[in-house]
Amino acid sequence: MASLVGSRVERKEDKRFLTGKGRYTSDINIANQTYAIFIRSPHARAKIKKVDTSKALKSSGVVDILTGEHIAQDKIGGLIAGWAIRSEDGSEMKCPANPPLAKDSVNFVGDPVAVVFAETLDEARAAAELVKVDYKVLKAVSNLGEAMNSEAIHDGIDKNMCYDWLLGDRQKVKEAFDKADKIIKLDIVNNRLIPNAMEPRACVIDYNTASEEITCYTTSQNPHLSRLIMSAFGGVAPENKLRVVAPDVGGGFGSKINLYNEEIVCSWASKKIERPIKWVAERTESFLTDTHGRDHITHAELAVTNDGKFLGFKNETIANLGAYARVFGTVTPTYLFGPCATGVYIMPAAYSNVKAVYTNTAPVDAYRGAGRPEATYTIERIVDKAAMELGIDPIEIRMKNFPTEFPFKQTLVHQIDSGDYVAGLNKAKEMADYDGFAARKKESESKGKLRGIGVTSYFEACGIAPSPVVMMLGCGVGLWESAEVRFNPTGQVTVYTGSHSHGQSHQTTFAQIAADELGVPIENIDVVHGDTDKGTFGMGTYGSRSLTVGGIAIVNACKKIVNKGKKIAAKMLEASPDEVDFKNGEFIVAKSNKKKTIGEVAFASYLPGVRDEVKSPLPEGEEPGLIESSFFDPANFSFPAGSHICEVEIDPETGHVKLDKYTAVDDFGTIVNPLIVEGQVHGGLAQGIGQALYENAQYDDSGQLITASYMDYTMPRADDLPEFNLGFTCTKATTNPLGVKGCGEAGTIAATPTVMNAVINALGGKEISLPATAEKVWKACKELKKSNAKAA
């Protein structure tokens, strides 16, 4: 049987997703369900004086209305930050309470205050309009740059600062900078983004009054973690009375890592009103209350020699947490950001200083790439600026500073096990026809257009795991992953994983690796995920960790199956276990050339009576059945890397940026399914390009989100994007048996700086802020024309 790892197996998911047969949370209906509508703050910052539900309670069809008072009375806990980050001075981070329903104050537009449950959705909506909330409106803190000098939003949180964190060595950096020929300086605003999963958040709660068990169907990237938080911190129910199911989920991009107010409130309320509850977000609620991404203000400096060697790097960043610190809110701008800010380079000295602040805006958390796009944007923009100021080709300056020996100890945290950055950049250079750029630029110029080329080399730390490491860095849980592999007596296999697929195609990829390990046809393998009642436990999917952590747990569980199978086969084949080889689904004894298929062995394991010539196939002391589980905790993160090159053509009359060519060369180690990986890269690129050219979440001074619909928030569309030219290099990861590295976020991480480097290159080095909208580019073109005219 040929190996399936590496082949373009068509997705098992396709039939259901492409024919509209997926089963999402909002497709689930429970008999006798009520409908929930949340009453949300229309103000960015206010004290709640009074919530009057009397009129609404009398409205037709209303079952109950609950408020922050009720939550407090029942001692239901709030939402939490998953990572404890310490400030440079050793003090602990400061986090405000974040009750599921606000009782005393609201802190962003959309902060929920009360909830109506009614017999129909229309009745719930009508009643919600009758709930009167009396607010004392306060001045909102909506501007990130001014947050530290504004009035404190939360009691006891001075300067609105959660922490003032440092990674690296200020003294060493000072020494490096003293030796430099030149210091390159760059100021960046990393624009705020709204994840925009295709499926809005939703939950359906089914409370069983007899067993007292709550089943919560929800749009989550990590149902087990949601259950843990809801039970341990929310106090909604003990874990054994709480089942969390995340069925098909239509995209998350990090925004569905968090357990949200609505799930806690509805789970708690379902028990209170003894009725099932259904809540589905409207798109406006998604814009207002899904966690947002990015939103940094950064000042960075790079110390260089005249011949382009990097001596040191520093970055001072203010990161927006929004109104509250959520699960990955505090780690995204620190350990997921700081270490990667020195990029793929040998950087003798570096530090990252990050001040995370609260503002009256939606909470900011992990969004595809989480910290690493911000880091890569910073370093790759400043490296390009250095190249320009030193008059060195952007590829040459990168090559000059690449490490060539692996493992490579990166400046701030990571020990990178494998990579070949030179090979990646060379391949990208060739595929992009970098040398032909000058001719293409001339041709564009002859049509009155500007053309620019942009290069990015990135690495990222993903496959977020090693529990000892992440817990040392402040993570509240271990980030291992678990799997269970079950052989049925009749030979099919069910793989249970703690990872969760919300677009990643695990049912295919994971089946491929199990098929290879077990020698069972892929059709006979099913992958089950997303249900705390099915499978052991799991930490979920984010940080490109599913294959490198969850996938390896499957491999290890399969290996345990094969080991047990060998012992059984040995008995069946009258040999000793070490005489039995396993290949292509068969246990073979070489000396006698006798064999048993793994299916026969599985069957025998469940029917351990007298069979064939053997009394019992089970060796002494061996238990019946063929089911194994494994928890995998890798030795390190995984470190994908690559180089991307793109070309843009700009119409100076309108400022329109046409993305003309995009080449991405990535090293994801072993690739299990190129078809799926290419899809992941395409989607990632689209989101990175979105940040560079289109997407921008904006709040006005009063804290109103002014880009709260698709009329104003620009998503990239298919016709904005060129045909992507993808290539791969491969250095295997040494920290897992498959040699795989994460691939889910790379496109997003690399695309934003690649596009911006190209735009700025076209503008002759003129800095321009994210996103490069037509008007900004048009203005830059005008100024460029003026300064060119002056020079001439």
Partner 1 sequence: MKTFNYHSAKDVKEASKLASSNSAFLAGGMTTIPSMKLGLASYKDIIDIKRIKKLSGIKVSGKTVTIGATTKHSEVAKSKEVKKAIPSLAALAEGIGDPQVRNRGTIGGSIANNDPAADYPSACIALNATIHTNNRKIDADKFFRGMFETSLKSSEIIEAIEFNIPQKSSYQKLPNPASRYAIVGVYVAKHKTGINVGVTGAKSCVYNDKDLAGALSSNFSSSAIDSVKVSESGMNSDIHASAEYRASMVKAFAKKAVEAC
- Contact residues toward partner 1 (CB under 8 A) are 122, 284, 653-654, 656, 694, 698, 706-707, 710-715, 773-775, 778-779
**Of residues 200 and 551, the one with the C-beta less far from partner 1:** 200
Nearest CA to 40 out of 422, 362, 371 is that of 362
Q: Which two tokens stand for residue 470?
A: 């992440």
**Of residues 126 and 264, the one with the C-beta less far from partner 1:** 126
Pick left, alpha or beta for residue 226 (phi over 0 → left; psi -120 to 50 → alpha; otherwise beta).
Answer: alpha
Residue 644 CB, shortest distance to partner 1, in Å, is 23
Give the 3-state DSSP-derived string for 119-144, with helices as H, strands as E and coil as C.
CCHHHHHHHHCCCEEEEEECCCCCCH
Give the 3-state DSSP-derived string for 398-466, with helices as H, strands as E and coil as C.
HHHHCCCCCCEECCCCCEECCCCHHHHHHHHHHHCCHHHHHHHHHHHHHCCCEEEEEEEEEECCECCCC
Residue 32 CB, shortest distance to partner 1, in Å, is 24
Using only C-alpha atoms, the chain has a radius of gyration, in whole angstroms, of 28
Nearest CA to 382 out of 347, 356, 417 is that of 347
**Of residues 72 and 198, the one with the C-beta less far from partner 1:** 198
Residue 195 CB, shortest distance to partner 1, in Å, is 16
Q: How many CA atoms lie within 13 A of 321 on its CB side?
A: 30
Q: How many CA atoms lie within 13 A of 145 on its CB side?
A: 9
Residue 225 CB, shortest distance to partner 1, in Å, is 34
Residue 425 CB, shortest distance to partner 1, in Å, is 32
**Of residues 17 and 694, the one with the C-beta less far from partner 1:** 694
Q: Find the angle CA(84)-CA(90)-CA(95) to the nearest 5 degrees.
A: 40
Beta bridge partners of 106: 46
**Of residues 122 and 274, the one with the C-beta less far from partner 1:** 122
Residue 712 CB, shortest distance to partner 1, in Å, is 5
**Of residues 69 and 710, the one with the C-beta less far from partner 1:** 710
Residue 39 CB, shortest distance to partner 1, in Å, is 14
Residue 714 CB, shortest distance to partner 1, in Å, is 4
**Of residues 20 and 621, the one with the C-beta less far from partner 1:** 20
Q: Is 435 exposed, middle or buried (0-12, 13-18, 19+ CB in 10 A)?
A: exposed
- CA–CA separation, 790 vs 780, rounded Å? 15
Residue with tokens 């960075």: 300
**Of residues 569 and 759, the one with the C-beta less far from partner 1:** 759
Residue 636 CB, shortest distance to partner 1, in Å, is 41
Could you give the C-alpha distances from 73 to 68, 69, 99, 117, 301, in angstroms and in order?
A: 9, 6, 12, 19, 52
**Of residues 665 and 751, the one with the C-beta less far from partner 1:** 751
Residue 695 CB, shortest distance to partner 1, in Å, is 9
**Of residues 5 and 280, the one with the C-beta less far from partner 1:** 280
Residue 446 CB, shortest distance to partner 1, in Å, is 16
Amino acid at 100: P
**Of residues 388 and 784, the one with the C-beta less far from partner 1:** 784
Residue 648 CB, shortest distance to partner 1, in Å, is 15
Nearest CA to 287 out of 361, 184, 177 is that of 361
**Of residues 490 and 654, the one with the C-beta less far from partner 1:** 654
DSSP structure string for 292-320? BEEEEEEEEEEEE-TTS-EEEEEEEEEEE
Residue 653 CB, shortest distance to partner 1, in Å, is 5
Kindly tell me the sign of the dihedral angle through the C-alpha atoms of 602, 603, 605, 606.
positive
Nearest CA to 573 out of 585, 561, 581 is that of 581
- CA–CA separation, 659 vs 167, rounded Å? 36
Residue 707 CB, shortest distance to partner 1, in Å, is 7
Nearest CA to 143 out of 160, 158, 157, 156 is that of 160
Residue 748 CB, shortest distance to partner 1, in Å, is 19
Residue with tokens 């019946």: 624
Could you give the C-alpha distances from 141 to 105, 193, 701, in angstroms and in order?
A: 14, 18, 8
SS3 percent helix, strand, coil of the chain, rounded to 5, is: 30, 25, 40
Q: Which two tokens stand for residue 364?
A: 């900011």
Q: What values do phi and psi take at 665, rounded to 5?
A: -120, 120
- CA–CA separation, 401 vs 642, rounded Å? 15
Residue 25 CB, shortest distance to partner 1, in Å, is 21
Residue 344 CB, shortest distance to partner 1, in Å, is 32
**Of residues 88 and 720, the one with the C-beta less far from partner 1:** 720
**Of residues 14 and 653, the one with the C-beta less far from partner 1:** 653
- CA–CA separation, 475 vs 242, rounded Å? 24
- CA–CA separation, 231 vs 470, rounded Å? 22
**Of residues 178 and 653, the one with the C-beta less far from partner 1:** 653
**Of residues 232 and 774, the one with the C-beta less far from partner 1:** 774
Report the DSSP pairing between strands 242-245 and 213-218: parallel
- CA–CA separation, 200 vs 284, rounded Å? 10
**Of residues 196 and 291, the one with the C-beta less far from partner 1:** 196
